[in-house]
Structure 1
């Protein structure tokens, strides 16, 4: 067995790779250069690979204590970019309701702004489990919608995952504010 230790910048490189993959995902999903079916599957593979980099970068950073300020900022931003771009594309394809995406995007901007206010006050707002569950369900929702498998049971599952993702989006917003209500005191 090898005791190979990854390079210290690997988590950040994976985060950057995730951001770089976004335009390729969008291109294949929307331009469909290989026809709808093949292009959807290429987009799906890109999205799944990008989602896996999210799991890998965090795991490596925590395991080897490679946590950086760049990673703290860019990892959640890369997640937001990936999922929000994907959902906006799905609206354009008629697979996801725009009002759901508006709620999700509004939550992401709100939490990002909230984190900036907290940072100005010297407080770091870490991701909580609700936020992690939210991201996981959003990614699963996107995977199911991009795959667009026309089997009744899969379509029902997709709808269930969509509603869970939306509920977790709202719950995570409320819990972030509740757990960090001290940040809201004395806002200028």
Structure 2
């Protein structure tokens, strides 16, 4: 007697709900940031708190998905998209108010959007989950953005220097992991095409 195929977790689960919540929080983060023109007052603190809460949902949904066996293909795709919406909006806002060089934001966003598109291009051959390098990239980007978002960073020299160093590290890892993902996508596509050709 053949064994029954393992049951796939439902798309309607807590980790996916948290991922969608993170997406919903992005407009609130943007509004809190721009409501007073990016000034370093209470609205800026509200933006920081929303950003921190959204980032926490990223950690929480991953922990729950792994602990309860609720990892889905939808989650593998939606989770990085939610991250890119949050991180991307923060980078654009910081550049728009002159606190971060535009070329840094542009390179990071081109990498992020490009890898997302690449994931969809090769999805017929398999899902490219986030690598360890990709997760490190997210951690560094998040840490750098939080430092830049803090209302007192521009007024504290050493804190501004730390923010710049962390952002430089995030930038480097972002570019390196982007190249790694392109190579991984090429291998995934080649393996998938070889499998298709080998079928009768």
TM-score normalised per structure 1: 0.88
Correspondence 1:167 to 2:172: yes
Correspondence 1:11 to 2:20: no
Correspondence 1:140 to 2:178: no
- Residues 156/137 of structure 1: CA separation in 2 closer, same or farther (3 Å cut): same
Aligned to 1:157: 162
Q: 1:26 aligns with which of 24, 30, 36?
A: 30
Larger Rg: 2
Query: How far off its partner does 1:43 sit?
Result: 0.4
CA contact (8 A) 2:118 2:185 kept: no
CA RMSD of aligned residues (A): 1.9
In 2, Cα distance between equivalents of 1:130 and 1:64: 24
| Structure 1 residues not aligned, in runs of 5+ | 1-7
In 1, Cα distance between equivalents of 2:38 and 2:109: 30
Query: How far off its partner does 1:25 sit?
Result: 0.6
Q: 2:94 aligns with which of 90, 95, 105?
A: 90
Q: 2:181 aligns with which of 157, 161, 176?
A: 176
| Cα offsets for 1:104-130 (capped at 9, x unmatched) | 11101211122122112x222111111
| Structure 2 residues not aligned, in runs of 5+ | 1-11, 194-200
Aligned to 1:104: 108
Aligned to 1:4: none
Correspondence 1:53 to 2:57: yes
| Cα offsets for 1:33-73 (capped at 9, x unmatched) | 99641111110000011001000000100010011232122
Aligned to 1:78: 82
Correspondence 1:126 to 2:129: yes
Aligned to 1:63: 67
SS at match of 1:89: helix
